[in-house]
Structure 1
Amino acid sequence: MTVSGDPKVVIVGAGPAGIRAAELLVSAGIRPVVVDEGMKAGGQIYRRPPEGFTRSAEQLYGSEAGKALALHDLFDRMVACREVEYYPQSSAMALAANVLHVLTPAGRREFAYDRLILATGATDRLVPLPGWQAPGVYSLGAMQIALKAQGVALGRRIVLAGSGPLLTLVAAQLLKAGANVAAVLDTSSVRNQILAIPGMMARPVLVLRGLAMRMKLGRLYRAGVTLRDIVSDESGPMAVRWRDAGGSDHHTECDTVGIGWHLRAETQLAGLAQCRFGYDPAWAQWLPQADRMGRSGDGVYLAGDGLRILGADGAEVAGRLAASACLADMGLPSPDPTRDLRRLARYERFARAIARAFPWPASMVRSIPDETTVCRCEGISAGDLRQSVDHGGGEANRVKSLARVGMGRCQGRFCQLASAELIAERAGTSVSDVGRLREQAPVRPLPIGAWIDEAL
């Protein structure tokens, strides 16, 4: 049954949030358009391997295998029944005047919409260490994707560094796959982690699961470290130099390094949709603003880690809430959100505790040497940024115009947060006063020929 008037709803992202949003819309008789960059639905957390891949779901997703398979099967059934209009391997590039511009394998497409649900997820949050631009230095997420999607452990002797649950998870997954992990270096102190335990007990099963993985790491895991640099030659990393919590210096040999400090929300499309933003000091990043249901502007709804970094379970709940708000705003019957709102509040308590346990290492970022590359796309150093602040002041977009930081392929995804710390330190102001870089379309690199109207 199709709802009268055929409302046009577009969902960007087919991870846990996008899938649950699509499920609720379909149950109301709406056939949404779902646009996703992946080859198959599932998102980063439940990324599916290529056809013919022999590793089992239990090997790929561990204790989350049941959830992953359930979401995969649900979405595949909706596609098979033509209940959703699905565009995989497709990137949303721009939006304006209620039209989403998408690059698909068949070329450029435009999707007009009445309502837009952005379930864009998150990416790795990185610190620009001296030497991080060397080949063979990956984000933790990239290492996990290689393991899940291709069954490949990147490197013969691996050092993992950063902070957050993903650091422990990737280390445990690599060890289970038989990889040689030389060290797991956490910039968060044991004290920070212990003090956050009461808040983390909002989800005690996850805490116990994390502790079990940490125990398996044994002496490989070191907390409270200060990372000095990555020593490399033209072929890649040779060692990581670091200082332990007691002040002793170490030199750990390796040929591959994985780094990451939890996650940063993917917000480019939300910015183009004119969503409001606010600086969240707990997560040390700018996040889009929305009500408890995910409403964030006229006909725009946000769900998942692109709004609040709550993990896969929180993303599923947020996807349902955003779709429920969408239905209610269209005057259609929608489910009672009370239970989901309670669950969301519990997930948020846990997430806030995680942010306290594994904080963004602002002081380490601010102290990096001038010669350290901050923007890998444009080759901009910390010294270049500091000089630009001296010449033009401490506002993010002003520094961007002078130094070109954030103008490259990633459009600030990897350098914006660290740049803001450096600008704030040099200007003697707060990171929130530095502001955020303005979004520009297209939000991904694209071939010019694919975007030119053939009629021209």
Structure 2
Amino acid sequence: MSRRVVVVGAGPAGLCAAAGALRAGAEVTLLDAAEDPGGQIRAWPGFERLRDHVLGHPRCGWWPETSVWSIERAGAGAPRVHVLRGEIDAAGRDRHVLRPDALVLAPGAHDRVLPFPGWELPGVSTGGAAQAFVKGEGLALGDRTLIAGSGPFLLPVAASLLEAGSRVQAVLEANPAATVARGWTRRPWELASQTGKAAELAGYAALLARHRVPYRTGRAVIEARGDGRVEEAVTARLRPDWSVVPGTEQVAAVDALCVTHGFSPRLELPVAAGCRLRAGAFADVDADQRTTAPAVYAAGEITGIAGAPAARTEGLLAGWIAGGGPPDAPEAVAVRRRRDRARAFAARLAAAHPIGAAWPGWLRPGTIVCRCEDTTYGTLRSTAADDSAHAVKLATRAGLGPCQARICGPAVAELLPAGNPHHRPVAQPIRLGELAKPPVENPGRKESAR
């Protein structure tokens, strides 16, 4: 009898996990909160062919607009997956409980933004949000745009905004040139397998040069100013630990500011499933993408930020093993080799673009840290002086708003001992009326497909 595999997330990792499980002969249910598969970036090579293969496969049920609101552990077996089907803000969503033989988690990541004075102003966005707006609406957030933060993702954001007609004033990498160069040039022979990345980087560099957009290292946005909307960005030169070099502040007139300090993996589902975390930051997996939770596999950014190519190899391997494919099959051995090269790239990425420990020096007592609840840095610090982490949360409501700490959680966890920011028994909002309705228990494949 075919194994039943549920895959959560239909980005590069999830779509490839579904393909791997189907290749192994499994029955697959593929879930994603979006209407369409592919994740945020759908331009990777072979996407359309893979999408059509997976979604058109007779053993695959595709569940778009489906949110996993809870994962229930089930002893030695795979956990039960509690889902809501329908638009997030729509009334009357259907509640289902899936009971798979194996679960593959590939929920991806979201932009990480460190708070700074004025980051809550309209016109200040993450790089991912700006890029999604361009791709979805064909419009840029503003005309005079400054892009800042850390990591190579700043470059495709700049490319998207330039193509949409925005005047990108500069791209600012917070880490100094020495840190970036040291991270990328360490063990240079490993770069031989990443020629595609080098070509991609050269393309972005040529685009910036063509539009006369400067790329500056060791500089960051430390404040945004404006009356009702961002009008100015204050930038400053940083030391390697991201402390501000006094006297280097400059003011730039802008009407849009895109800031991204890397990515935060979406770990609420792995934590709910009982998966152990590596260094508190990523799902811990073995050579076959197994987590420490029974019958649960993980792939993509939740195991380490490495980009779409790495996510695809991890997803393919996770799906193959979860679907009952033999670990020593030639195709599995080849995928592991590609996966290991991709993981080496992830380590290089982390070394070249670290988060400096001194960034809290940018903050002032009135700086908002939790935007959902308007919790300020001063409130956090004064409350933390006398109370436990749990008491601080209840007193300040930091992380208890609509985003459930997805945006502020990592920052709050660094600013004070706030416990595990990924622990959410209810991973997505659910109405009491939806909770009161009896769920549909593990519907069949044909019944589930749309």
TM-score (norm 1): 0.84
Matches within 5 A, 1:373-384: 373-384=368-379
Q: Distance in 2 between matches of 1:332 and 1:127?
A: 41
Corresponding residue number in structure 1 for 2:445: none
Q: Distance in 2 between matches of 1:119 and 1:72?
A: 19
Matches within 5 A, 1:257-406: 257-279=257-279, 286-296=281-291, 297-328=293-324, 336-393=331-388, 395=389, 397-406=390-399
2:430 corresponds to 1:449 = no
SS of residue in 1 equivalent to 2:345 = helix
Q: Does the 8 Å contact 2:369/2:376 carry over to 1? A: yes
Deviates more, 1:436-445 or 1:132-141: 436-445
SS of residue in 1 equivalent to 2:30 = strand
Corresponding residue number in structure 2 for 1:40: 36
CA-CA distance at 1:166 after TM superposition = 0.9
CA-CA distance at 1:19 after TM superposition = 1.4
SS of residue in 1 equivalent to 2:281 = strand
Matches within 5 A, 1:121-160: 121-160=108-147
Q: 1:241 aligns with which of 215, 234, 237?
A: 234
SS of residue in 1 equivalent to 2:224 = strand
Q: Indicate how the Cα distance of structure 1 residues 272 and 335 shifts in structure 2: closer, same or farther if over 3 A, else same.
A: farther
2:185 corresponds to 1:209 = no
2:63 corresponds to 1:87 = yes
Q: 2:82 aligns with which of 57, 78, 101?
A: 101
**Displaced runs of 4+ in structure 1, greater than 6 A?**
330-333
2:389 corresponds to 1:413 = no
CA-CA distance at 1:231 after TM superposition = 0.2
Corresponding residue number in structure 2 for 1:170: 157
Corresponding residue number in structure 1 for 2:442: none
Which residue type is aligned with residue 372 of structure 1?
T
CA-CA distance at 1:454 after TM superposition = 6.2
Corresponding residue number in structure 2 for 1:57: none
Q: Distance in 2 between matches of 1:366 and 1:313?
A: 36
CA-CA distance at 1:183 after TM superposition = 2.5
CA-CA distance at 1:75 after TM superposition = 2.4
Q: Does the 8 Å contact 1:40/1:88 carry over to 2? A: yes
Which residue type is aligned with residue 83 of structure 2?
V
Deviates more, 1:267-276 or 1:101-110: 101-110
Q: Distance in 2 between matches of 1:418 and 1:453?
A: 37
Q: Distance in 1 between matches of 2:361 and 2:396?
A: 17
Q: Deviations over 1:82-136 (max 9, x none)?
A: 3311100111111113321111115222212121100111110111011111122
Q: Deviations over 1:127-171 (max 9, x none)?
A: 101111112211111111111222221112211111111111111
Q: Distance in 1 between matches of 2:100 and 2:64?
A: 18
CA-CA distance at 1:443 after TM superposition = 1.4
Q: Distance in 2 between matches of 1:415 and 1:384?
A: 14
Q: Distance in 2 between matches of 1:331 and 1:340?
A: 13
Provide structure 1 residue ranges, at least 5 long, that are not aligned to the other structure: 47-60, 280-284, 425-433
2:53 corresponds to 1:77 = yes
Which residue type is aligned with residue 357 of structure 1?
A
Q: Does the 8 Å contact 1:11/1:117 carry over to 2? A: yes
Provide structure 2 residue ranges, at least 5 long, that are not aligned to the other structure: 87-92, 239-244, 440-450
Sequence identity, in percent? 31
TM-score (norm 2): 0.85
Deviates more, 1:290-299 or 1:330-339: 330-339
Q: Distance in 1 between matches of 2:35 and 2:105?
A: 18
Which residue type is aligned with residue 109 of structure 1?
H
Q: Distance in 1 between matches of 2:100 and 2:330?
A: 23
Q: Deviations over 1:386-437 (max 9, x none)?
A: 11220125x5x4532342221112221111221122116xxxxxxxxx6423
Q: Deviations over 1:10-48 (max 9, x none)?
A: 1001111111111122123222111111211111221xx
Output the aligned Cα RMSD.
2.3
Q: Does the 8 Å contact 1:163/1:186 carry over to 2? A: yes
Q: Distance in 1 between matches of 2:282 and 2:398?
A: 20
Which residue type is aligned with residue 288 of structure 1?
A
Corresponding residue number in structure 2 for 1:21: 17
Q: Distance in 2 between matches of 1:364 and 1:300?
A: 36
Q: Distance in 2 between matches of 1:380 and 1:149?
A: 32
Q: Indicate how the Cα distance of structure 1 residues 341 and 124 shifts in structure 2: closer, same or farther if over 3 A, else same.
A: same
Q: Does the 8 Å contact 1:41/1:72 carry over to 2? A: no
Q: Does the 8 Å contact 1:124/1:140 carry over to 2? A: yes
Query: Larger relative contact order (C-alpha < 8 A, sep ≥ 6)?
Result: 2
Q: Distance in 2 between matches of 1:196 and 1:93?
A: 38
Q: Distance in 2 between matches of 1:173 and 1:332?
A: 40
Q: Distance in 2 between matches of 1:324 and 1:443?
A: 27
May I ask how many residue pairs the two structures share in their alignment? 413
Corresponding residue number in structure 2 for 1:436: 420
Q: Does the 8 Å contact 1:365/1:418 carry over to 2? A: no
Corresponding residue number in structure 2 for 1:113: 100
Q: Does the 8 Å contact 2:149/2:220 carry over to 1? A: no
Q: Does the 8 Å contact 1:327/1:334 carry over to 2? A: no
Corresponding residue number in structure 1 for 2:90: none
SS of residue in 1 equivalent to 2:205 = helix
SS of residue in 1 equivalent to 2:235 = strand
CA-CA distance at 1:316 after TM superposition = 0.8
Q: Distance in 2 between matches of 1:240 and 1:440?
A: 35
Q: Indicate how the Cα distance of structure 1 residues 212 and 75 shifts in structure 2: closer, same or farther if over 3 A, else same.
A: closer
Q: Does the 8 Å contact 1:17/1:320 carry over to 2? A: yes
Q: Does the 8 Å contact 2:10/2:30 carry over to 1? A: yes
